[in-house]
Each structure stands twice: as C-alpha cells, then as structure tokens.
Amino acid sequence: MSGITETYPEYGSTNQLDILRATQYDYLDRQNHIYLDYTGAGLAARAQLRAHHARLDGATYGNPHSENPTSRSATDLVEQARNRVLSYLNASPEEYQVIFTLNATGAAKLVGEAYPFAKNSRLVLTSDNHNSLNGLREYARRGGAGTKYVHMRQKDLRTDTEAVIKCLGHPIGWRRLRPSSRRRSGLFVYPAQSNFSGVRHPLSWIKVAQDLGYDVLLDAAAYLPTSSLDLSTVNPTFVIVSWYKVFGFPTGVGCLIARRDALVRLARPYFAGGTVKAATVAVPWHALTSGEAAFEDGTVNYLSIPDVHFGLDWISDIGIELIGTRVRCLTAWFMDSLLDLRHSDGSQMVILYGPRDMEARGGTVAFNFIDAEGKIVDERLVALESSRERISLRTGCFCNPGVGETVFGVSAKTLKHLAHQQEATFDDFLRIAHLPSGGAVRVSFGIASTVEDAEYFISFASKTYKDRVTTTDRLKPRLGC
C-alpha cells in the first residue's frame, strides 16, 4: 500500500475494494487504464452487466403504457425501481415521488420549465453550480423573476452561511403583502458537492431556505457516489441525480425526486404521450395524469430503469461508508503528494483549488501544474500527454463557470464586455477575461480506485512536468469550456 496506511490507517480497512477491483473491475488493469474521472462517470461492475443480460434473456418486456403481459412485466420492474430509490434515500412514499429522466440535467429542466416563477419571486443560486442549474435562470427571466448568486471565498471555494441568508432575503414587496396572500419566495438551488472542487456545502441550508419561504433544489449528482442522503432528516423540495455517476450503469437514466406537495404546484408547459389522462384535437383541451407520470414524457427507458434497482443493491451490499472511507483516504494522500511536488529550485509544481484538508469535501481534486518559469501549464497539454499514458482525467472548466471565475479572480466588470460578443469563440472569451488557462485539471476517485492509480499519476506528473518550460505551440483551439 506504498505507505498510505502510515498516514491514513483507515485505508487498510478498505481491502475488500481491492478484491472488487481485481474481480468486478478487472478490465481496468487488463486494458491498462488509469481511471481518475469518477466525478464524470462511475464504472460498471461485471455483476451489473451480467444481471442486465440475465434479465433480458429471461423474460420479455414491452412498452409500459398498457396492460398486456409484457407491458405489465415492464411496469412492475419500473415501479420496483421507484420504490428502491425512495428506500435508498430513506424517503417516505407519502412525502416523495420519483420521476425518471434521462439524467440530472433533464431532472433540473423539468423543475425549471414548470416552476411558478413570478415578479415577486426569486431564483437564488450559489455561484458553485453546474451549468445544468445555471440554465434555470432563463426560466426565471421568462417568468419575470430575478436571479441572484451567492458568491464563494476565493481561498477555499466555500460559501458562508451568512452570505446565503443575506441573498435569500425576502424579495422586494414581500413584506407589504398580507400573510394570507404572500407567495413563495422562490427557488434556492445548490449542489451538495461541487463537481469542480469537491467542496461539500451544508445540507443545513435546506431548512434555512425553507424557513424563508423558498423551495430548494438540491443537486446530489456528485455527492451520492460516496455518501448517503437521508431525506427523512433533510427535506429538500427537489433532488436531482444521475445514476451512472453513482454506479456506472445504466447511462441515460436519472431521477427527479420531488415532494408531492411541490409537484402539484408545478405547471407543465407541455404534454406528451403517457403524461395525460386524455387530450382532444377538435378543441385544445387536455388533462394531465397525476403524480410522476405527468412528468415522464413519452416512454420511459423501461429496459434500463431496473438496472438502477440492481445498482442500488450493489452499492448497498458493498457499503457506501466503505467506499467513502477509501475515497477520503486516497483524496487526502493524493493532495499531500501533489503539494509535495517541486521543481529542482524548490518552487511548487502545483496550484490546488479548494480546501487542502478533508473536512466537508469529497473525492474531487482540481488543480493546475506550474512549469519551471512559473506559468500555468495549459490544460490542453495535460489532457494530451496524460491520454498518451492511458490516464483518464478531466480538464477544462467542468461546466462550472462560477468556480472558474472565482479561482482566477474574474470580475463582473471584466465580463460585461461579453454582452457584445455573441459570436466569440471560447479562446476569445479567455482573452477578454485575461485568463491564463481554460480551466483546470480534475482528478476524482471512486469505488474501484487504488493507491496504485494515484501513485501512477504522481509519477507521471513528476516525470512530465518537473523542471520543464511548456509552450502552447501546436495545441488545437478550444471549442468550448
């Protein structure tokens, strides 16, 4: 274990995951992959793939929107998967419903398009949010609601609770309304864990916002792969999830887990097959069906949704606490090793973004290399050279512009010039914003990660960038973030 247990002895209690790596995830070693992108996607165990094949080989399934035998079989498995999701999140079926979507983005969009934004309401987001959530401001704008961002500290990329409370202050005109006629304050949106920095934001914000009259949309996509979420303890209005991020398979299945009392307040701007009790053509009339079916447009992915049930059983049998322990130890060891990297003159080779300790953070580490002249090593170069070594990691801004702007100190004054740059390329944006890089390098750990994976990357980093002066010559233009 290369000495990791000397500093982080808990790592030794996770040996079971080494057995799983050698059996269920052995394709990584056979194919010579170093996989360090678990925030991007989880990996599928061989048991998951076998279960999928056995289920399809052992029965016939049809479109759930019927009562014939094959339809009934599919419907039963989809409903069992809904119940398993609620059970896994310790959510009462009396309070919550599960709506299957293509991914977390699709779940967020369902909320945004149907939420009753109005002039006296507000959309409040933390500046640490994925673009799938930032995009909700377009729905707020169309509804006449204002959008406000809660900013973070540059040093550790955390957000003060006091700043959250200040931004959640009641919208203009709220106090002038009689209590009986007050509308909800609006929607508060934030991630339980940052997909950029790994920072875990307090779940206590949920109650803070709700006490101020807000609905809360919690992005749990980056959080759930290594942590449990108990909806009987914290009660967000909406939770969004992409299941492939938790256990790798299936892709194309996400969830919106929503409070029943909130769903009835949403007004869908669209209806489709399966979402209506009836619709007419001679007159423009339709009646939406009740519950989750009103939000599942068309036919759900009934051949893959049952794999969510198996995936949750798989993770539960292993133990999310065990996975969390390994990831916590690996992340801490990895950050220590990164910060120990030095050029021959003693200068640091790495600048780390976000917390340097493991308090309230997950297994995602964002950083940039610094070359021998003190310049940031272009993230495109790192992507190219790490790929040659069969290392899978992520580079760029990770669809989280708020953190990138904070990291590099980009002000609103600088960015206002973009309002007249609709045809600008991403490289044009970098020049306008005076950014030294298109983002960062992101390494993230998960269920099949080992210390050997982390050591391999540290060895690659030292061998490739120590004492080196880098150049951007011959790098391809950036097409986007």
Together in a domain, 269 and 361: no
pLDDT number for residue 179: 45
Together in a domain, 162 and 264: yes
pLDDT number for residue 290: 83
Query: How would you write the chain as a 3-class SS string?
Result: CCCHHHHCHHHHHHHHHHHHHHHCCCHHHHCCCEECECCCCCCCCHHHHHHHHHHHHHCCCCCCCCCCHHHHHHHHHHHHHHHHHHHHCCCCCCCEEEEEECCHHHHHHHHHHHCCCCCCCEEEEECCCCHHHHCHHHHHHHCCCEEEEECCCCCCCCCCHHHHHHHCCCCCCCCCCCHHHCCCCEEEEEECECCCCCEECCCCHHHHHHHCCEEEEEECCCCCCCCCCCCCCCCCCEEEEEHHHHHCCCCCCEEEEEEHHHHCCCCCCCCCCCCEEEEECCCCEEEECCHHHHHCCCCCCCCCHHHHHHHHHHHHHHCHHHHHHHHHHHHHHHHHHHHHCECCCCCECEEEECCCCCCCECCEEEEEEECCCCCECCHHHHHHHHHHCCEECEEECCCCHHHHHHHCCCCHHHHHHHHHCCCCCHHHHHHHHCCCCCCEEEEECCCCCCHHHHHHHHHHHHHHHCCCCCCCCCCCCCCCC
Together in a domain, 220 and 111: yes
pLDDT number for residue 480: 72
- For the chain, how many structural domains are there in total? 2
Together in a domain, 24 and 142: no
CATH code assigned at 353: 3.90.1150.10
Q: Identify whether 55 is part of a domain.
A: no
Q: Identify whether 411 is part of a domain.
A: yes
pLDDT number for residue 170: 60
pLDDT number for residue 423: 66
Residue numbers annotated as active site: 399
Q: Identify whether 307 is part of a domain.
A: yes
Q: What is the pLDDT of residues 109-125, one digit of tens each?
A: 999 999 999 999 999 99
pLDDT number for residue 429: 75
pLDDT number for residue 177: 42
Q: What is the pTM of this model?
A: 0.94
Together in a domain, 390 and 454: yes
Q: Which domain holds residue 459?
A: 4-44+319-465
Q: Identify whether 480 is part of a domain.
A: no
| Residue listed under structure tokens 């519950």 | 291
Last residue of a domain, one of 255, 287, 316: 316
Together in a domain, 286 and 371: no
Q: Identify whether 58 is part of a domain.
A: no
Which residues, given as ranges, of the chain have pLDDT below 50? 1, 172-182
Together in a domain, 176 and 248: yes
Q: Identify whether 274 is part of a domain.
A: yes
Together in a domain, 294 and 332: no
Last residue of a domain, one of 268, 284, 316: 316
Q: What is the pLDDT of residues 163-176, one digit of tens each?
A: 999 999 865 444 44
